[in-house]
Structure 1
Amino acid sequence: MEGLGAFLKSRRGRVTPEQVGLRTFGTARRVPGLRREELAHLAGVSAGYYTRLEQGQAGTASTQVLDALARVLRLDRVETAHLHNLARRPAGPRLSAPPAEEPHSRVLSLLAALGESTPALVLGRRGDVLAWNRAGHALFAEHLPFDAPWQPDGRPSVPRMFFLDPFTRDLHRNWEELARIHVAYLRLTAGRFPTDARLAELIGELTMRSDEFAMMWAGGEVSDCTAGTMRLRHPTVGALSVDYQVWLQPDSPDHRLEVYTPNGPGSADALRILTQAGAEADATVAGGG
């Protein structure tokens, strides 16, 4: 799991003196970004205190200090929230395995209300699929059993699928863009839940088994995941594009309902064909054919 010092150091290296109005007089610099003492001066803290903060030896930083650092480092809203999450983390937190996640009955009712023409998934804090409708399953994981989300020990993991599952890799035409979003959101989640042993295990597994994940994770990006576009190459209906949007759940804030809508008439036709094919397959099974 990432620590406060590592995050500060990575962001310090991205801000040039010119961006914050410092004059360097053309002198050679050993680091591409700000020096520790420069960042400390601009944030209004002593160089010694900031050094201890970056080394994890300064205890808990105040909200005012963190906001000052965020301002100088030009952090956006999500990055600033991540900074505060890291600063609240106790030193040497002990990992513990949380209980299996269960989707709230209200989100399941909402999922059912969407029907089978609108693909949707319910995702847990680590990106595990807690539930999906037939359309969501057919769109993203028709190679997996439909009842997989109802088996806590065998739930599909979206991060694992993105980096370790060839079907998912081939499905997404903008795979790299979406993969980076998943990694950045996973980092944000790791800051919110620093003691989650299952989350730490997931990050460790992906780092060891996927060079691409390891490279993206080392990049230090952090962002939320609320809306965007997926360009797909589906084995049943061919090329299509869908927009996704995330609905947060007040009763279970760690969980997200992701809903997918067609991006254009051609994609709408492809979704209708896919949904109809799934309905016909279900009818065949139900009829014993």
Structure 2
Amino acid sequence: MRGMDRSTELSEFLRSRRARLAPEDVGLTAFGGRRRVPGLRREELAQVAGVSVAYYTRLEQGRGRNVSAAVLDAIADALRLTDAERSHLHQLARPAARAGRGAAHPQRVRPAVRNLLDTMDNVPAYVLGRRMDVLAWNRLAAALLGDFGAFPAQRRNMAWLIFLDPASRELYAEWDRKAADIVALLRMHAGSWPDDPALASLIGELSMKSDEFRRLWAAHDVRDKCYGVKKFRHPVVGGLTLHCETLVLPQDPDQSVVTYHAEPGSPSAESLRLLASWTLDAAGGAGTADRGAGEREAVPGER
């Protein structure tokens, strides 16, 4: 499958951000009675951003050429974009700045990173790559989230897991929130790698097979790698409330280590300790990170 159409993505993203705002939100007075569509009109946004209506219209229609970073920042300010949305706008509008990012290189996990996962006996951790592929993980991550190693490499993908693996709806107590975060992060990946056919294939599969994904994708929400509190309903240890942290790896911003930990002394900390002990007993020894994942290019659409 071919990559995504950058002009269409830019046009739909700008329209969706305009639709969130009313004139009063940006210091304008609404005139003209009832509006045919929600949100700011193009001329209103252009006025706030300090650009001509014709120039903004060309940009929103995907016909803008050589748009400057300063103009994009002015439009981002007018639209009240978040940092992640601002970055996404620049990625979509200035493809020349992403030269060389069309052909995705194979994803490899450095041995030192695998060793790091090995040492995290009491912390579920895994490496997330492009397209949200799971490239490596430790034993406790498999015990908490599911055994990635039981799936073919092509199915080790968090987006595929959330929307197409029925077990995820039982595992994540706040599935709707998790699903929205996943789609918003996948949007960031699409902006960074618009010409990646494997990413386009993943998005196409999810759109065809999941009504929820299709609805969330159409919203054009964007978020970067995140942190926060996640709630689980684990089949072995029951309810867990864990803090999630995402740590971007140096020299490879397309890879990050995702970790979960519990508040010290909390019931969730005790449950996590029991889960770690259970995995060690089941393995008959110390837990180790999976050694097979990430040694070849992962293809999304499988776990």
Query: Are the aligned partners of 1:104 and 1:252 in contact in 2 as well (CA < 8 Å)?
Result: no
Q: Which amino acid aligns with 1:135?
A: L
Q: Which residue is 2:213 aligned to? A: 213
| Identical positions, percent | 46
Query: Is 1:10 aligned to residue 16 of structure 2?
Result: yes
Q: Report the alpha carbon displacement of residue 27 of structure 1 after superposing the two structures with TM.
A: 1.5
* Residues 76/262 of structure 1: CA separation in 2 closer, same or farther (3 Å cut): same
Deviation at 1:155, TM superposition (A): 4.9
How far is the alpha carbon of 1:279 from its aligned partner? 1.0
Counterpart among 75, 98, 106 of residue 69 in structure 1: 75
8 Å contact kept, 2:101–2:192: no
Report the equivalent of 2:301. none
Determine the structure 2 residue equivalent to 1:189: 189
Q: Which has the higher contact order (CA 8 A, sep 6+)?
A: 2
Looking at structure 1, the residues matched to 20 and 122 of structure 2 have their Cα atoms a distance apart, in angstroms, of 45
Could you tell me the TM-score, scaled by structure 1's length?
Answer: 0.89
Note the C-alpha offset of 1:71. Answer: 0.8
Structure 1 residue 122 displacement after superposition = 0.7
Distance 1:6 1:94, change over 3 A: farther
Given the superposition, is the C-alpha separation of residues 102 and 118 from structure 1 closer, same or farther in structure 2, using an over 3 Å criterion? Answer: same
Partner of 1:145 in structure 2?
149
In the TM superposition, residue 156 of structure 1 has moved relative to its aligned partner by 1.2
The whole-number CA distance in structure 2 between the counterparts of 1:229 and 1:100 is: 32
CA distance in 1, matches of 2:251, 2:100: 27
Q: For 1:154 and 1:195, locate their aligned partners in 2 and report how far apart those are by CA, in whole Å.
A: 19
2:254 is aligned to 254
Equivalent residue for 1:28? 34
Alignment of 1:126-141 (within 5 A): 126-141=131-146
Q: Distance in 2 between matches of 1:207 and 1:95?
A: 24
The question of 1:281 aligning with 2:282 is answered yes
**Paired residues of 1:118 and 1:259 also in contact (CA < 8 A):** yes
Alpha-carbon contact 2:229-2:243 (below 8 Å) kept = yes
How do 1:238-249 and structure 2 match up within 5 A? Answer: 238-249=238-249
Q: TM-score, normalised by structure 2?
A: 0.85
Total equivalences in the alignment = 276
CA contact (8 A) 1:242 1:262 kept: yes
Deviations 1:4-57 (A, max 9, x none): 111111111111011112112461211211111111122111111111111111
Secondary structure in structure 1 of the residue aligned to 2:127 = strand
How far did residue 219 of structure 1 move?
A: 1.1
> Which of 119, 122, 126 does residue 127 from structure 2 map onto?
122
Return closer, same or farther for 1:173/1:243 CA change in 2, 3 Å cut-off: same
Query: Structure 2 vs 1, CA of residues 123 and 94 (structure 1 numbering), >3 Å: closer, same or farther?
Result: closer
5+ unaligned residues in a row in structure 2: which ranges?
286-303
Paired residues of 1:97 and 1:196 also in contact (CA < 8 A):
yes
Q: CA deviation at 1:226?
A: 2.2
Task: Give 1:89 shift.
Answer: 2.4
For 1:117 and 1:254, locate their aligned partners in 2 and report how far apart those are by CA, in whole Å.
25
Q: Deviations over 1:46-92 (max 9, x none)?
A: 111111111111212111110110111011111111110111126xx
Q: Answer yes or no: is the 8 Å Cα contact 2:101–2:193 preserved in 1.
A: no
Per the alignment, do residues 76 and 96 of structure 1 end up closer, same or farther by CA in structure 2, a change over 3 Å counting?
closer
Query: Are the aligned partners of 1:227 and 1:245 in contact in 2 as well (CA < 8 Å)?
Result: yes
Alignment of 1:89-128 (within 5 A): 89=95, 98-114=104-120, 116-128=121-133
The amino acid that maps onto 2:203 is: I
State how 1:161-176 maps to structure 2 within 5 Å.
Answer: 161-176=161-176
8 Å Cα contact 2:102/2:193 also seen in 1: no
1:110 Cα deviation (Å)? 2.0
> What is residue 265 of structure 1 aligned with on the other side?
266
Conserved in 2, the CA contact under 8 Å of 1:229 and 1:243? yes
- Secondary structure, aligned partner of 1:255: strand
1:272 partner letter: R
DSSP 3-state at the match of 1:60: coil
How far has the Cα of 1:251 moved from its partner?
A: 2.6
Q: Is the 8 A contact 1:95 1:197 kept in 2?
A: no
